[in-house]
Amino acid sequence: DLSRQVEVAESALSAAHAAVERRQADRARALAVLDQARFDFDRVANLVKLGTGSTTEFEDARKTLRVSEADLSSSEAALVEAQKQVVTAMKTLELHQTRLADASVRAPFAGLITRRDRDPGDIVVPGSSILALVAMDELWLSAWGDETQMAKLQPGQPARVVFRAAPGRSYPGAVARLGREVDRETREFLVDVHVHELPENWAIGQRAEIYIETGRKADAVLLPSRFIGWQDGKAGTFVESGGRAAWRPLGLGLRGQESVEIIEGLSPNERAIVPATQKTSLKPGQRVKVPAPRPHGSAAKEL
């Protein structure tokens, strides 16, 4: 256990520091004894010079002085050894701390863990994934756009994002980056959009629809998108003409989230129609009955 090894090394370092303190106390005591031995030796030596001291006292004082000097040298050597033990204990602690740090996985940035690929105790090989980490400071959505729309897009354009999980609300965003490679089969390229606000519940990889504002017009003629149909690759809509359905090719302009700009093909007094139910369809010349206008549009009923 690497953590246990670090704890043992920390204890060893504390013991080494305590040993240094003891050796310092021993040296201080030996130094005090040596000072006293020198004082006694000098005193006896002076007495011998005056003829009042004995040779035996002189020899005893000199012996005590030499022993005190040896004790001081021994205590100083022990102090140096204790200090070396502190250095050794510090290096050992650093080694175990480094090994423990190498065994710990640290995120290179602050974020949210969205997936755990390994459990504690699993064997991990180099290059394998352990966790999936997502930076929370900026989240992007990537969408595929047709290459024919590339000239209309620019970074910074406002966008609205509608998540499939919450289709009744859109969230503000902006174009962050345009891809520089087109898929050779679908002829589409990636558009990255920065979302300024996220729903309360979200997940990486969930589906969404992105609407990018490429232009803005005042007093435009608009038609709900559900009224637009296609015949022979050309856009158009059915209108009521003399009680029958008539097909009108249309020139389309800007496209909105729920409506399309009509440039040409529809007169101001004509009424666009759609089947009353999605299970039915209209054909040119088919007799229709248009109900009285309602606030939210009209629907044609087949006869």
Could you tell me if residue 45 is inside a domain? yes
Same domain, yes or no, for 6 and 82?
A: yes
Single residue among 212, 245, 270 that ends a domain in this structure: 212
Could you tell me if residue 204 is inside a domain? yes
- How far is Cα 53 from Cα 178, in angstroms, rounded to an integer? 107
Could you tell me if residue 217 is inside a domain? no
CATH number at residue 281: 2.40.420.20
* Angle (deg, nearest 10), helices 2-50 and 55-102: 170
Same domain, yes or no, for 184 and 272?
A: no
CATH number at residue 152: 2.40.30.170
Same domain, yes or no, for 89 and 165?
A: no
pTM: 0.55
Same domain, yes or no, for 130 and 144?
A: no
- How far is Cα 204 from Cα 186, in angstroms, rounded to an integer? 24
Same domain, yes or no, for 172 and 234?
A: no
First to last CA, the chain: 84
Convert the pLDDT of each residue in 84-125 to its tens digit. Answer: 999 999 999 999 999 888 878 888 888 889 899 998 888 888
pLDDT the model gives residue 294: 58
Q: Which domain holds residue 55?
A: 2-102
pLDDT the model gives residue 303: 27
Q: Which residues contact 23 (CB under 8 A, 6 or more apart)?
A: 75, 78, 79, 81, 82
Could you tell me if residue 156 is inside a domain? yes
- CB neighbour class for 266 (10 Å; exposed up to 12, middle 13-18, buried from 19): buried
Single residue among 163, 193, 212 that ends a domain in this structure: 212
Tell me what the pLDDT averaged over the chain comes to: 88
Q: What average pLDDT does range 35-59 have in this prediction? A: 88
Q: Say if residue 292's pLDDT is above 80.
A: no
Say how many domains are in the chain: 4
- 288 versus 5: the higher-pLDDT residue is 5
Could you tell me if residue 196 is inside a domain? yes
Same domain, yes or no, for 234 and 284?
A: yes
pLDDT the model gives residue 101: 87
Q: Say if residue 274's pLDDT is above 80.
A: yes
pLDDT the model gives residue 295: 53
Same domain, yes or no, for 229 and 165?
A: no
Same domain, yes or no, for 62 and 129?
A: no
> Which residue bears the tokens 């030596």?
45
pLDDT the model gives residue 293: 64
Q: Are 273 and 243 in contact (CB under 8 A)?
A: no
Same domain, yes or no, for 290 and 201?
A: no
Single residue among 157, 183, 212 that ends a domain in this structure: 212
Could you tell me if residue 229 is inside a domain? yes
Eight-class DSSP state of 149: G
Q: Which segment, 8-17, 96-105, 127-136, is predicted with the most confidence on average?
A: 8-17
- How far is Cα 73 from Cα 55, in angstroms, rounded to an integer? 27
Same domain, yes or no, for 200 and 255?
A: no
Distances (CA, A) of 65 to 31, 68, 252: 11, 5, 114
Q: Are 259 and 225 in contact (CB under 8 A)?
A: yes
Same domain, yes or no, for 123 and 174?
A: no
Same domain, yes or no, for 53 and 119?
A: no
